[in-house]
Amino acid sequence: MADGTAGQREWRIIGMDCGSCAAKVRGAVERLPGVEDVDVALMARRLRLTLDETQTSPERIENAVRGVGFGIAPKGARPEKPKGGFVLPDGAFPNAPEAVEIDSEPEEIAGPDDDAQTFWLKTSKGRLVFGTGALLAAAWASRLVQPAEIAHWAFVLATLVGIVPVAQRAFAMTRAGMPFTIEMLMTIAAGGALIIGEPEEAALVVFLFAVGELLEGASAGKARDSIRALSKLVPKTARLEVGGKTREIAAERLQLGQIVQVRPGDRVPCDGEVIDGTSGVDESPVTGESVPSLKEPGAEVFAGSINTEALLRVRVLRSAEDNTISRIVRLVEEAESARAPTERFIDRFSRVYMPAVVGVAVVVAIVPPLAFGQAWGEWVYRALALLLIGCPCALVISVPASITSALSTGARNGLLMKGGAVIESAARTSHVAFDKTGTLTHGRPRVTDVSVLSGTDDDLMALAAGVESGASHPLGQAICVEAERRGVQAATATGGRALPGKGAEASIDGVTVSVGSPRLANERGALTHDLRTRVTALEAQGKTVVIVLREDVPQGLIALRDEPRADAADAVAQLRGLGISSVMLTGDNARTAQAIAEGLGIEHRSELMPEDKVTAIRDLTVNARVMMIGDGINDAPALAAAHVGVAMGSGTDVALETADAAILRNRVADVVGLVRLSRATMSNIRQNIAIALGLKAAFLVTTVLGITGLWIAILADTGATVLVTMNALRLLFFRPTGTAEPAGYVGLTAETRPGQAASTI
């Protein structure tokens, strides 16, 4: 930077397949002067750091990463391939498929050299497997037809050819201050096996190591597939209207305010607003809802949804990097950087574990021969096998592999979590605190009762809708919606005005009509004993009552209530089944809160100001692990105070920014799904740690006892890594709700109203 101040820089890394790879990249750059806040994301293949260019240039960062065997390119640039590895001559396999080029993939997700998208033989790891395998097979064949001495040297040659690129990386990382790496252990083990006269086993170990590296890359690619699939929901091109004509352009180049055409069968290329046309739109790729949603002028559509019936003209509302799908992908990627406490502990442990195993190997190599007169060759061989067991790859990847799979599964099911720390905290939740309005309830009052004193129901609704026409108050809007639903035409009103805190009134047919609270009726002497009894009975049910007056004469009552969501009671019951207590925190009056809480079977605290909610959360956190669910600005402080803050998808931007997680489908039952997914993830992590440490412990004993040798040791190492990764991938098939979801990736629900989508992520 020109002024020499520190600033954040970002690169894309190619060639990372496991946690130890990420550790190598981190170790290569964090020792450089002027480098701080190093963040290496394995699944996103991202290196981000704060750099003071007066001390270290970006070019030096890139050279340091290349020096330890990885490809690197600045964010947005075309990624390069990592150098090194066994490379066969061009044209050696003329019939091999060509690598698949992906020019339009987002740089953060995939690239032209992505192993998951490239024929394995065209990668350096694939060529290393083929080359070492071919040389090993040739050496075995030579042993059958050639003298033993020639076969011996054939195995030596196979070992040297395969180990040279590994040794180059090992010494490069040693120069970078990282001597304890699997590459260095492999180099020592293979070289030592040659020295003690075991070239056949050395060659086999080199080949198995190459196979393990290839399998690790394939497993990591599989873990990235689900994130990559999200980005593919958005079409690459869009039909842009320019001067009355249409032309195709890249969807990522669309600008705000431009008009695009979406033909039947096409995917919508942007988040936008329909300005012309009426059609059903299949939003299942975005919302998970299988029934097409009717879109008319003024309705909002989401990138990735599918137009099913007729041509739509859509105005672009959000840029490509800010649409619904992009936000989900970005949040999943960013969440990888928020490391779980377990992951941080494993990382610290692995830094001690490998040197400790190396120390044990040295003791095994020298103590028996020196102290007990045992054969040097035998105990050096066992020590070399121990070195291979000392690689912590499986242990290091045990946590991030599970976390990444869980984040991807959550994104597909409308559950976004900001990292492993959130998953770990959510798994330990013992109490859930719910906001009421907009969380346990829809957040929109609805007419529940119409009680007529004079005339008919339709007459009463016509008068009330006439007074409330154009109202901004939620109760007035609910009355107008109910009248429209009943097919009642609102009476023509003039001179309408609001009565602050009491209601509204207007003139209808020359007569003053008022729609207001019982307090207004009481002030005007219209609240009779019978009317008061009816009001009290309705309010006891948690309903808000308005009275329609015509020249201060009661015409009838209209009761409204913000109804609980359909799945709220079942969700509270499911949480109880998981051993989790629930409580509702609301600013509503005690009578309304009690009525709602009794219907849901939940404890409640009422008449709480925002600061009171924070106090309530802090009281709970003294002896419990608390998750807070909310949606409004007033919930943001409480979300921050809880161990885990979860925002409903239709909530405000402030709540979503403050929260640790988001439920995009506005289903209370998804709170249960989030807890289940978190618990399943932590169980998966424990399984992975047991696999990694258990296999190594078992083979450490058998190796010291002389039961297993070098090639079994390398199988134990690479096999554990592959087993851990494959076990973590099982989370991709986990269903948090216990039922299969519709095809596609979820984001918002059909319940989300137009205009709300901007605040869903």
Q: Find the DSSP H helices in 47-196.
A: 58-67, 124-145, 148-175, 182-195
Instruction: Give dist(CA 518, CA 318) in Å, integer.
Output: 46
Spatial CA neighbour of 479 closest among 505, 448, 510: 448
Q: Is-catalytic flag, 435?
A: yes
Phi/psi at 498 (nearest 5 deg)? Answer: -90, 145
As given in the structure block, the two tokens for residue 247 are 């032309």
564 DSSP assignment = B
Question: What SS3 class is residue 558?
Answer: strand
Pairwise CA distance, residues 192 & 169, whole Å: 18
Q: Chain-centre distance of CA 611, in angstroms?
A: 31
Catalytic residue among 17, 113, 347, 435: 435
Alpha helices in 11-119 (DSSP H): 19-30, 58-67
Task: Say how far apart CA 490 and CA 483 lie, in whole Å.
Answer: 7
Q: Are 212 and 717 in contact (CB under 8 A)?
A: yes
519: how many CB neighbours lie within 10 A of its CB? Answer: 13
3-state SS of 396-459 is: HHHHHHHHHHHHHHHHHCCEEECCHHHHHHHHCCCEEEEEHHHHHECCCCEEEEEEECCCCHHH
Go through 1-24 and write b for each residue having 16 or more CB atoms within 10 A of its CB, e for each that does not.
Answer: eeeeebeebebbbbbbbbbbbbbb
Contact 288, 414 (CB under 8 A): yes
Please state, in angstroms and rounded to a whole number, the distance separating the CA atoms of residues 493 and 506: 6
The amino acid present at 612, given as its one-letter code, is D
Catalytic residue numbers, as ranges:
435
